[in-house]
Amino acid sequence: MLLDDGKSAVGPISALDASGFTVRIAAEVREFDPEQYLDRGEAKRLSRFLQFTVASVDDALKDSGMKLDAIDKERVGCMIGSGIGGLDVLGEQHRRQIDGGPGRVSPFLVPYMIPDMASGYVSIRHGFQGPNSCVVTACSTGANAIGDAMHIIRRGEADVMIAGGAEAPITEIGLAGFCAARALSTRNDEPERASRPFDVDRDGFVMGEGAGILVLESLEHAQARGAKIYGEIVGYAMTGDAYHITAPEPNGDGARRSMNLALKYAGLEPSDIGYINAHGTSTPYGDRLESLAIERVFGEGATVPVSSTKSMVGHTLGAAGAIESIVCIQAMNSDTLPPTINLENQDPDCRLDYVPNTARPASVEYVMKNSFGFGGHNVTLIFRKWNG
Q: Give pLDDT tens digits for 155-171.
A: 999 999 999 999 999 99
Give the global pTM: 0.97
Residue 139: active-site member: yes
What's the mean pLDDT in 38-53? 96
pLDDT at 118: 98
Q: Region 29-48: what's the mean pLDDT?
A: 96
Give the mean model confidence (pLDDT) for residues 57-79. 97
Distance, CA of 190 to CA of 279 (rounded, Å):
22
pLDDT at 388: 81
Mean pLDDT for 89-103 is 95
Residues 6 or more apart from 159 whose CB is under 8 A from it? 71, 72, 75, 76, 130, 153, 217, 218, 220, 221
Catalytic residue among 78, 279, 328, 350: 279
Q: Does the annotation mark 279 as catalytic? A: yes
pLDDT per position as a tens digit, 234-286: 999 999 999 999 988 999 999 999 999 999 999 999 999 999 999 999 999 99
Q: Is residue 240 within 8 Å of 376, Cβ to Cβ?
A: yes
pLDDT at 154: 98
Q: What is the pLDDT of residues 174-187, one digit of tens each?
A: 999 999 999 999 99
Pairing outcome for strands 25-26 and 377-385: unpaired
Quote the pLDDT of residue 199. Answer: 98
Report whether 270 contacts 366 (CB < 8 A): no
Q: 278 and 247 in contact (C-beta within 8 Å)? A: no
Q: What is the pLDDT of residues 321-370, one digit of tens each?
A: 999 999 999 999 999 999 999 999 999 999 999 999 999 999 999 999 99
**Per-residue confidence (pLDDT) for residue 1, from 0 to 100:** 62
Phi, psi values for residue 231, rounded to 5°: 180, 175
Measured CA to CA, the distance from residue 129 to residue 117 in angstroms comes to: 15
- Assess whether pLDDT exceeds 70 at residue 65: yes
pLDDT given at position 37: 97
All domains of the chain in start order, with CATH: 11-17+37-224 (3.40.47.10), 233-385 (3.40.47.10)
Active site residue 134: no
Confidence of residue 110 (pLDDT cuts 50, 70, 90): very high
pLDDT, residue 117, reads 98
Please count the other Cβ atoms lying within 10 Å of the Cβ belonging to residue 130: 21
Provide the pLDDT for residue 301.
86
Residue 340 φ then ψ, to 5°: -100, 110
Candidates 78, 139, 328, 350; catalytic one: 139
Phi, then psi, of 192 in degrees rounded to 5: -70, -15
pLDDT mean over 300-321? 97
Considering the candidates 221, 315, 328, 350, report the single residue annotated as catalytic. 315
% of the chain residues with pLDDT over 90: 97
pLDDT of residue 2: 76
| 203 conformational bin, left if phi > 0, alpha if psi -120 to 50, beta if neither | alpha
| Helix spans in 273-313 (H) | 284-298, 310-313
SS3 annotation, 136-176? CCHHHHHHHHHHHHHHHHHCCCCCEEEEEEEECCCCHHHHH
Question: Is pLDDT of 72 > 70?
Answer: yes
Contact of 287 with 281, CB cutoff 8 Å: yes
CB 209 within 8 A of CB 56: no
3-state class (DSSP) for residue 367: strand
